[in-house]
A and B are shown apart, each in its own frame.
Chain A
Amino acid sequence: MWSIALLILLPLAASIAVLRAPDPQTRDLWVQRWSIALIAVTLLFGAGCWMGFTDQTLYAIPHWLQTALDGFFDLVGLILAGTLLYLCRRIKWNEWYIPALILTQTGILFVAEAAATHPQVEHLFYVDPFSVLMALIIGVVGGLIALHAVPYMRDYHRHAPEVPDRRTGFYAAILVFLSAMFGVVFTNHIHWLFVFWEITTLCSFWLIAYPNTEEALRNAYRALGYNLIGGLAFAAAILWLAAGSGPYTRELDRLVGAGQLALLPAVLIAVAGLAKSAQLPFSSWLLGAMVAPTPVSALLHSSTMVKAGVFVLVKLAPVFQGTLAGLFLGLIGGLTFVLTSLVAVNQRNAKRVLAYSTIANLGLIAMCAAVGTAEALWAAILLILFHALAKALLFLGVGSAEHLIGSRDIEDMESLVYRRPELAAMLLIGMLGMFLAPFGMLLSKYTSFQAFLAMDLLPGEGALLAVILAFGSGPTLFFWSKWMGRLVARPHRLPSIPNAPPRAEQLVLGVLTALTALSCALFPLIELGFAMPYTQQLAGLGLIPAHAMAIPWETVGIMSLMLGGLFILPLAFWLKPPLYIESDPYLSGANVEGESYRGAMGAERLATNQGYYLIGFFDERRLMQTGIIGALGLGVLMLGSSL
């Protein structure tokens, strides 16, 4: 119990300390120290929980403290609404809906609060294996990102002198964000969960708007607006739980335990989850969020924000299981998965590729959550973990590369294997980790296939979702491999990169690379320690059908062998490089020294290559529009079928 309080309060204390730091040097030092402390505390907490898991543990606190905290959270909620309204002072006329949303949301909550009686809240916090794993992701990955941010932001301001230096607030916002995320994963009180939820929205707004340009502001408002739509749905769920005909409760465990009786509030909260995890039709806010400095993107995409969205979806999975609303939720995820994977093929901007791939993978997690069987939840939980690690690595790696080569265009990363081998190796491992055997994401995909086909709730649902997954895998393969192809290409006459990334950045990237690789090798530990106990516990409560599932040891063995080969072959190659005669590539015999050739008019030309983006084949705008319309339709069906 007290460890939860520690986890929530530690980043909060850190942010206050950072705000009070006397000068920039001390501040940077403190950010680093507090981040390291956060990582250490989270690891200790995780290890402690891993050793002694028994069951879901619910915690109550003394009555007087609870009353005080209740008042405190009401106050925070009001301050939050006030702050958000204050931030709206720079909106444009066509963003009128944002203050309207804030006011409506506050109004709904006020009505819910003003009711004569409130549902009693017995347990305020809980710890279960899934939330512990989430805490580990938030603390460790989030802490690493904060560590990386310090040297990165120094470079950032050197590269962009026009951006006002508000770094103190920046670090503080990141830390508050982490604190709120801990709150989201541990609190059992739905109203408090909502407050934490809105704090993440506020922090993300502030971080996206950091560059203070017109574009950044507009994108930040879009992110705020879309997340507030989700927040409105969440507030409506709270009102329903207080005054509707469904379960009369304010506790998350009771809500989940009510099963299909709680379908309507669960669907409303799922809308909030979909908005936060940038699923269609809300996807565009996450793409707009890329104007922010890279650590913000890394934070939003890997350990916080979008993961809060899928976290509640997975939490609510037992409610959706076997319902029509669940099918529509899964189809929204599936639509998002296929369309954003296709759109990612079009992208030349590395960060946009990463963003679309994040949205796609979250779609897959949403599909798993909607299916809600033990296997599907297992897959969803491991997807969350592997995705967080690989995506944090990729974002930070792309950020470091961008500072070195001055561009985030995939074509400009050509030959990175030769120009900056260590950085390229990390990026390659991150990419392999995202889509190829023997890495974890693929293992989760494998389990998803199995889970979809093994379910027998609605006829044909599983097969449909499995086909969607199969279709999305093709383009996924294409856009990652194309990017890898550019990285491994031998250099023409590209300038080499004289300086390495700062040491602290390298260290963080190295740790994330090691974690990406290790989490695949050690995944049975994660499986036995977190994913299995969680699904067993849900099955024990009778919320999902009990199903003995385990990845057979043979599969684990084969995967480990492949992983071994993937590391040993390059190592052998490096230790004992084969001696072959190097020659120029084939240019129809018209080579002129190296990679130039004698062209038509006798002129000397350099033979250059670029990747395929199939822009004439898939049209980003049309696909996304189709997706938004389709997802809106599915969303209406989802809400309709839950009534």
Chain B
Amino acid sequence: MNAWVAALGFLVFGPLLGALLAGIDRRLTARLQARQGPPLLQPVYDVLKLLEKDTLVVTPLQGLYLWLFLFFMIGAGLILFTGGDLLLSLFALTVSGIFLCLAAESTNSPYSHLGASRELMLMMAYEPMLLVAALGFYLTNDSFRVSVITEAAPWQPLQLLGILVGFLFVLTIKLRKSPFDLSTSHHGHQELVKGLTTDFSGHHLALVEIGHWYENAILLAWLYLFFAPWGPWLAIPIALILFFLEVLVDNTHARLTWSHTLKASWWVTLLLGTTNLLLLAWWVR
């Protein structure tokens, strides 16, 4: 019964939460740049407007891939929020990311293609760290199940400290923030135009945005999981603070090249994630 409520809650409030996060993000960024910034619900207004616009497609099939992107994104969220299997949720998230790339690739236009290729490279960069994070949770709890992880021992955040830092590092990539916003660019007149989403419009762009809202909610939940044993009153604020720390990073860093990104994230995974995991394995057994 509880799981059904959680599932329904995620379906309805997940995107709302994600939209709010995006809104706060924009507001914070504006303030950092000494601007006023848009209203908090601006992302929602944007999507509502997109839904009223005509949808131009380069190929009709791009819509199919985008729907599959959203389908697997929601699937990943449902598994996570109903207390299901963390690793399985991560796998579904990966599938969803790949369908977004396929949608961009299907247009075969230079900008979309460049964005999709870079996105794939970023996926290659962050995937090992995300997997190591899930493995870390398994070692502390002997289970991949989220419902078990939330009831972990209170020193879990300390046990997973290295993994947490590594996770925050790749979270910057996952949220497409500077210095790792190679695949899209949120600012106009840059070499990529809009990267991945260049050739989406109307409904399709709205789909991508909604997908990203769900993704925001899922990533926030991952952060929450690290601190879950401390109870929601402590864990939620910490997760939110860490989430918005990424906004600060976004505004204080210039973009890196893909090769730097790849090397940096693999080194971080190796040095922080793997070391943490090996020590943990040695300590747990």
Stretch in B12-20, B36-44, B105-113, B213-221 touching the partner? B105-113
The interface bits of chain A over 449-483 (1 if a CB of B lies within 8 angstroms of the residue's CB, else 0) are 11001101001101110110111011101100110
Inter-chain contact A586/B64, CB cutoff 8 Å: no
CA distance A530 to B124 in the complex (A): 34
List the A side residues contacting B131 at CB < 8 Å.
449, 469-470, 473
The interface bits of chain A over 331-343 (1 if a CB of B lies within 8 angstroms of the residue's CB, else 0) are 0000000000000
List the A side residues contacting B116 at CB < 8 Å.
485
CA distance A268 to B88 in the complex (A): 38
Inter-chain contact B58/A583, CB cutoff 8 Å: yes
CA distance A177 to B111 in the complex (A): 50
List the A side residues contacting B75 at CB < 8 Å.
558, 561-562, 565
The interface bits of chain A over 166-201 (1 if a CB of B lies within 8 angstroms of the residue's CB, else 0) are 000000000000000000000000000000000000
A585 with B58, Cβ < 8 A, contacts A436-B95, A489-B108, A607-B109 known: yes
Instruction: Tell me which of B71, B92, B120, B199 contacts A482 (CB under 8 A).
Output: B120
Say yes or no: is A611 at the interface (Cβ < 8 Å to chain B).
yes
A585 with B98, Cβ < 8 A, contacts A446-B87, A477-B124, A554-B84 known: no
CA distance A433 to B60 in the complex (A): 25
Considering the complex, which residues of chain B in the window 45-75 have a beta carbon less than 8 Å from any beta carbon of chain A?
Answer: 54-61, 63-65, 67-68, 71-72, 75
Q: In this complex, which of B108, B117, B139, B198 has the most chain A Cβ atoms within 10 angstroms of its Cβ?
A: B108
List the B side residues contacting A450 at CB < 8 Å.
138, 144
List the B side residues contacting A583 at CB < 8 Å.
56-58
* 19 intermolecular pairs with C-beta atoms under 8 Å apart: A414-B108, A417-B61, A436-B95, A437-B91, A450-B138, A460-B281, A463-B135, A463-B139, A467-B277, A471-B128, A478-B121, A481-B98, A486-B105, A490-B59, A554-B84, A580-B56, A582-B57, A586-B112, A587-B110
List the A side residues contacting B84 at CB < 8 Å.
554, 558
CA distance A428 to B69 in the complex (A): 16
CA distance A76 to B283 in the complex (A): 55
Shortest CB–CB separation between residue B58 and chain A, in angstroms? Answer: 5
Shortest CB–CB separation between residue B183 and chain A, in angstroms? Answer: 12
Inter-chain contact B92/A437, CB cutoff 8 Å: yes
Considering the complex, which residues of chain A in the window 378-410 have a beta carbon less than 8 Å from any beta carbon of chain B?
Answer: none
Considering the complex, which residues of chain A in the window 555-608 have a beta carbon less than 8 Å from any beta carbon of chain B?
Answer: 555, 558-559, 561-562, 565-566, 569-570, 573, 577-578, 580-588, 595, 607
Say yes or no: is A97 at the interface (Cβ < 8 Å to chain B).
no
List the B side residues contacting A565 at CB < 8 Å.
68, 71-72, 75
Shortest CB–CB separation between residue A241 and chain B, in angstroms? Answer: 35
CA distance A611 to B87 in the complex (A): 29
List the B side residues contacting A588 at CB < 8 Å.
193
Interface residues of B (CB under 8 A from A): 54-61, 63-65, 67-68, 71-72, 75, 79, 84-85, 87-88, 91-92, 94-95, 98, 101-102, 105-113, 116-117, 120-121, 123-125, 127-128, 131-132, 135, 138-139, 142, 144, 193, 198-199, 259, 262, 266, 269, 273-274, 277-278, 280-282, 285
List the B side residues contacting A464 at CB < 8 Å.
278
Instruction: Tell me which of A417, A442, A584 contacts B91 (CB under 8 A).
Output: A442
Shortest CB–CB separation between residue A76 and chain B, in angstroms? Answer: 48
Shortest CB–CB separation between residue A444 and chain B, in angstroms? Answer: 12
Inter-chain contact B135/A489, CB cutoff 8 Å: no
Shortest CB–CB separation between residue A386 and chain B, in angstroms? Answer: 15
Inter-chain contact B102/A488, CB cutoff 8 Å: yes
Shortest CB–CB separation between residue B4 and chain A, in angstroms? Answer: 14
A470 with B132, Cβ < 8 A, contacts A450-B138, A488-B102, A488-B105 known: yes
List the B side residues contacting A489 at CB < 8 Å.
105-108, 113
Inter-chain contact A586/B91, CB cutoff 8 Å: no
CA distance A612 to B257 in the complex (A): 14
Say yes or no: is A35 at the interface (Cβ < 8 Å to chain B).
no
List the B side residues contacting A346 at CB < 8 Å.
none
Inter-chain contact B94/A437, CB cutoff 8 Å: yes
Inter-chain contact B108/A474, CB cutoff 8 Å: no
A607 with B63, Cβ < 8 A, contacts A470-B131, A583-B56, A585-B58 known: no
Instruction: Tell me which of A446, A467, A474, A582 contacts B127 (CB under 8 A).
Output: A474
Say yes or no: is A617 at the interface (Cβ < 8 Å to chain B).
yes
List the A side residues contacting B282 at CB < 8 Å.
459-460, 463
Inter-chain contact B113/A474, CB cutoff 8 Å: no
Inter-chain contact B61/A488, CB cutoff 8 Å: yes
Shortest CB–CB separation between residue B27 and chain A, in angstroms? Answer: 29
A607 with B55, Cβ < 8 A, contacts A436-B98, A488-B65, A617-B262 known: no
Considering the complex, which residues of chain A in the window 26-70 have a beta carbon less than 8 Å from any beta carbon of chain B?
Answer: none
List the A side residues contacting B125 at CB < 8 Å.
474
CA distance A554 to B79 in the complex (A): 10
List the B side residues contacting A484 at CB < 8 Å.
98, 102, 105
CA distance A474 to B262 in the complex (A): 11
Say yes or no: is A105 at the interface (Cβ < 8 Å to chain B).
no
A490 with B108, Cβ < 8 A, contacts A417-B61, A449-B135, A460-B281 known: yes
Say yes or no: is A609 at the interface (Cβ < 8 Å to chain B).
yes
Inter-chain contact B88/A612, CB cutoff 8 Å: no
Chain B residue nearest in CB terms to A554: B84
List the B side residues contacting A491 at CB < 8 Å.
108
CA distance A569 to B72 in the complex (A): 12
List the A side residues contacting B87 at CB < 8 Å.
446, 449
CA distance A554 to B82 in the complex (A): 11
List the B side residues contacting A459 at CB < 8 Å.
281-282, 285
Inter-chain contact B58/A481, CB cutoff 8 Å: no
Q: In this complex, which of A474, A475, A561 has the most chain B Cβ atoms within 10 angstroms of its Cβ?
A: A474
List the B side residues contacting A486 at CB < 8 Å.
105
Inter-chain contact B285/A453, CB cutoff 8 Å: no
Inter-chain contact B57/A580, CB cutoff 8 Å: yes
List the B side residues contacting A471 at CB < 8 Å.
128, 266, 269
Chain A residue nearest in CB terms to B193: A586
Instruction: Tell me which of A490, A578, A581 contacts B63 (CB under 8 A).
Output: A578
Inter-chain contact A482/B55, CB cutoff 8 Å: no
Inter-chain contact A582/B278, CB cutoff 8 Å: no
Say yes or no: is A254 at the interface (Cβ < 8 Å to chain B).
no
Shortest CB–CB separation between residue B117 and chain A, in angstroms? Answer: 5
CA distance A583 to B117 in the complex (A): 22
List the B side residues contacting A547 at CB < 8 Å.
none
